[in-house]
Amino acid sequence: MDDITSSPDNSLEPDNLDEALKALSSPVRLSMLQWLKEPELHFSDQAHPLEMGICASQFERCGLSQSTVSAHLASLQKAGLVTSKKVGQWIFYKRDEEAIKAFLAKLKAHL
């Protein structure tokens, strides 16, 4: 059976507001979040079911190296905007819609 582990809950706490803003300052990371919003449009060729999330290797289509893609995804995860799940040797990413909603509410309240 595959080794399945999930990332720890990194909900968007007040300290993560700065991390989220930093993560969103990159056009590449913004694109990644947009692609994850509608994975069926951008990752329909993924071999694994989209419900699992999007495999990190799928993001290499943006022309960046695997290590650069991983760094961008790690930044989004650190900010609490995406979650990850490891299945065997692969890591799958999904948007954390609740965290994104909380981020937008906090941003609206502060501006």
User: Which of 22, 103, 58 has the alpha carbon at shortest distance from 50?
Assistant: 58
Residue 12, pLDDT > 90, answer no
Q: What percent of the chain has pLDDT over 70?
A: 86
In sequence order, the 6+-apart residues with CB closer than 8 A to the CB of 69 are: 56, 59, 60, 62
pLDDT on residue 11? 46
> Which has the minimum average pLDDT: 17-21, 23-27, 29-33, 83-87?
17-21
- The mean pLDDT value for 49-67 works out to 89
pLDDT on residue 93? 97
Residue 9, pLDDT > 50, answer no
Give the fold, CATH level 3, of 4-110: Arc Repressor Mutant, subunit A (1.10.10)
Measured in whole angstroms, the distance separating CA 83 from the mean position of its chain's CA atoms is 6
Residue extents of the structural domains in the chain: 4-110
- Which amino acid is present at 43? F
CB atoms within 10 A of CB 32: 25
